[in-house]
Amino acid sequence: MQLADLLAQAGKPVSIPVVSQLLELHDFRPRQAYKTVAGGQHPDRDAQFRKIQELIRSYHAAGHPVLSMDVKQKELIGQFFRHGELYTQERVHVYDHDFRSFADGLVIPHGLYDLKHNLGYLTLGISRDTSAFAGDCIRHYWRTYGRPLYPHAYSLLILCDCGGSNNARWYVFKEQLQQVVNDLGIEIRVAHYPPYTSKYNPIEHRLFPHVSRACRGLVFSTMDVATEAMGRTTTKTGLQVFVSLLDKEYQAGNSATEEFKEHMEIVFDRKLPQWNYRAIPSIA
């Protein structure tokens, strides 16, 4: 309509439908922005991607689990607005502001995605996204789901980003990882995606978008509602999602102990050690 008014002011009056036709003729149409431009590129990016693909092939060939790990966006529990629509018989009323003080709680969905079996595992935390929380989620997965599904596995490959609670530079994440393997008695190999490449982590397009779709428009009025909704996530390709609640408080700002830093048992790869390493159970 603005273009039609401007043309009329310029002495070339045309109708709005004609303006629309002219725009389409010259390939002008409404478009949204796509997040495809990386904020940067590490020089070892391609080498690490090749390394990850080699690891995935070797682990699958050996019958060992390959898990993609990340944390989904936090959600407030209560009458808060969420994007999307639902079929209802009455208008749904929610708070006009998303103030944390209005919430009855907070849910932090920590995800693990099994590449081979197309299975998703969400552990819902209620406290903080810390390395200790990530470690407990791995423990819960292996004891509840992983060991029965992979009874002969002696090593587990985890693919994850470079930041967050599983930050590649943090000693505290490695310390938690060492504690996990000592408790479980299984080796864990970690491969981090390079900086600016988190969108290639499989969980980002094989699990999280489908969970968002299953919960679209639904008000998370209680933790039970959130848990049930996420557990209903499925796809035509057979995705199943298992959801558990981890009712535990975690402290922020923890760091690794000096003893761990001095006697760290983590085994780093010779090639790209900053992103590739193994936690091996300690021999008592």
What domains lie within the chain, and their CATH numbers? 1-31 (no CATH), 42-279 (3.30.420.10)
Does residue 86 contact residue 92 with C-beta atoms inside 8 Å?
A: yes
3-state DSSP assignment of residue 241: strand
What is the pTM (predicted TM-score) of this model?
A: 0.87
Q: What is the C-alpha separation between 122 and 208, in angstroms, rounded?
A: 10
Torsions phi, psi for 141 (to 5 deg) = -60, -50
Q: What is the C-alpha separation between 111 and 122, in angstroms, rounded?
A: 5
CA 123 to chain centre: 12
For residue 8, what pLDDT is reported?
76
For residue 35, what pLDDT is reported?
56
For residue 47, what pLDDT is reported?
97
Q: What's 112's DSSP letter?
A: E
Could you read off the pLDDT tens digit of each residue along the chain, which spans 284 residues?
576 677 777 776 778 777 777 777 787 777 765 555 555 678 999 999 999 999 999 999 999 999 999 999 999 999 999 999 888 999 999 999 999 999 999 999 999 999 999 999 999 999 999 999 999 999 999 999 999 999 999 999 999 999 999 999 999 999 999 999 999 999 999 999 999 999 999 999 999 999 999 999 999 999 999 999 999 999 999 999 999 999 999 999 999 999 999 999 999 999 999 999 999 999 75
CB count within 10 Å of CB 225 equals 14
Q: What is the C-alpha separation between 224 and 258, in angstroms, rounded?
A: 41
For residue 164, what pLDDT is reported?
94
Torsions phi, psi for 191 (to 5 deg) = -130, 120
